[in-house]
Chain A
């Protein structure tokens, strides 16, 4: 197992995207990720899941983390490893995401009566990706790290 990890790290390749905090640019991340995932051999439905998850993560970073401030960047790292793709999305916010937001499980019947019909992003990401982790990036800012495994 340890040997596998070492080998995976040696062969890992990282693609970095830096995007302005403006809605619409999540498409750039979606297209880059889908091209990469297709090349890695992910099935079509997994590629679609990845596109939705990365779009939610980037729009969260644009809207909540960077508050639509276009001069702030959203940094997307796509790390290719043997058998998996790791996606991290980092904003430049100095406000961390409240734990209750991360834990929230939206229910559609409650949403009918609530003013806020949104709040599905983080829940969707957790549903779609194999591993999801929220943390503060070493450089500051909120970072979401998602992993999707290549099924055999």
Chain B
């Protein structure tokens, strides 16, 4: 698929667990349309799902009246996904993640693997604080790169 200039889709949904699945599938549909293979599509879906869950649970503290916004742009082989939340809780500067050995031994929470999964699956990932107080997790995939194994 050759596109002359950037194209963008925007999805927003309430901060209720389960709705991230709709955003995942909408973005995957866009990613497939611009030419990602099935392995990369799975990476995009899983990473985006984690990013949305972070936004729902941490950024918006599960407040159904607050919305998660997903802005997705494709330009020059670069697939950029930005996930915005209200930044109510800063998960960027969280303490050192708990290892699976510690989790299995019952030392600390079983959760908290989302950011690791995102970092592994996206070609690039970064947090930004927006001037309006919201925060943004930005994920990038390049259409001409292969899936990480």
Contacts and interface: CB of A to CB of B under 8 A. Distances in A.
Q: Do chains A and B touch in the complex (CB under 8 A)?
A: yes
Interface of A: 13-20, 22, 24-25, 27-32, 34-36, 39, 70, 78
Nearest to B25: A35
Given A24-B33, A28-B26, A28-B30, A14 B7 contact: no
Nearest to A12: B14
Contacts of A19: 9
A15 B33 CA distance: 21
Q: How large is the interface on B (under 10, 10 to 19, 20 to 34, 35 or more residues)?
A: 20 to 34
B86 to A, nearest CB: 17
A17 B9 contact: yes
Nearest to A24: B33
B33 A32 contact: no
A32 B19 contact: no
B12 A39 contact: no
B64 A22 contact: no
Interface of B: 1, 5, 7-14, 16, 18-19, 21-26, 28-30, 33, 64
Secondary structure dominating the interface of B: mixed
A19 B10 CA distance: 7
Contact of B26 (A13, A17, A20, A39): A17
A27 B33 contact: yes
A27 B26 CA distance: 8
B7 A28 contact: no
A39 B30 CA distance: 20
A32 B25 contact: yes
22 contacts: A13-B13, A13-B16, A13-B19, A13-B64, A14-B13, A15-B11, A15-B14, A15-B19, A17-B9, A17-B10, A17-B11, A18-B11, A22-B7, A24-B1, A24-B33, A25-B9, A25-B30, A30-B29, A31-B26, A32-B25, A70-B5, A78-B22
A31 B12 contact: no
Contacts of B19: 13, 15
Nearest to A35: B25
Contacts of B5: 70
Contacts of B21: 35, 39
Nearest to B4: A70
Nearest to A75: B10
Contacts of A28: 9, 26, 29-30, 33
